A and B are shown apart, each in its own frame.
Chain A
């Protein structure tokens, strides 16, 4: 079974630039999450999708972050404009349903200079 796919693996940008991350969950997984993990900290939930609808985006900084999950499969997370404090690993995770085990992708490491 293929895992959660994320790209790119690494991204380096300058502050005020924009960046986008892509995630393809495990086939059949209806629930998709984006987490932000700053170095030395645990992951922090940014947004949760159920199929193509947003369930919870209360911790998403909506002035600069946006996310979508068109057709209830792939998802993209965008930051515009980026700030230095956005440097982190962005983890995508999926599960078959809300009450099933979570599977994480390998993450995108973002460095904002």
Chain B
């Protein structure tokens, strides 16, 4: 059974701080990794994808992947109240043939307070 575990929340950070979200996965053969943001009552929205070891930056977001440690993280710099949401870590099937065939973590609730 493939598992994706995220750090327990909720996570509360002040506006302007760095929010750090972590995720581990059990299937060593997994090849594609995603972070989704989900506002309350809304559907998940893809914010970052990463496929190789190292860092990937997009604006205020940085995704980090370490396949040896089976670890994925998301850093949000200069956090804003609008970043308050549930963040879902997702891992695609080990064959890497389908980016939509995802195993999700349970999510981490992030609250950014002014």
Residues of A within 8 A of B (CB): 31, 33, 40-45, 48, 55-56, 91, 93, 95, 98-102, 104-107
Contacts and interface: CB of A to CB of B under 8 A. Distances in A.
Interface residues of B, number: 20
Given A31-B98, A102-B100, 14 more contacts: A33-B100, A41-B106, A42-B106, A43-B88, A43-B104, A56-B101, A91-B43, A91-B44, A95-B100, A98-B98, A98-B99, A102-B46, A104-B44, A106-B43
Given A42-B4, A91-B43, A33 B101 contact: yes
A106 B45 CA distance: 11
A45 B101 contact: yes
Contacts of A33: 100-101
A37 B5 CA distance: 16
Contacts, number: 57
Interface string B71-98: 0000000000000000010100000011
A101 B101 contact: no
A55 to B, nearest CB: 7
Contacts of B45: 104
Nearest to A107: B43
B97 A98 contact: yes
B33 to A, nearest CB: 13
Contacts of B90: 42
Given A31-B100, A33-B100, A48-B101, A101 B46 contact: yes
15 contacts: A33-B100, A42-B104, A42-B106, A42-B107, A43-B88, A43-B104, A48-B98, A55-B101, A98-B98, A98-B100, A99-B97, A101-B99, A102-B100, A105-B43, A106-B43
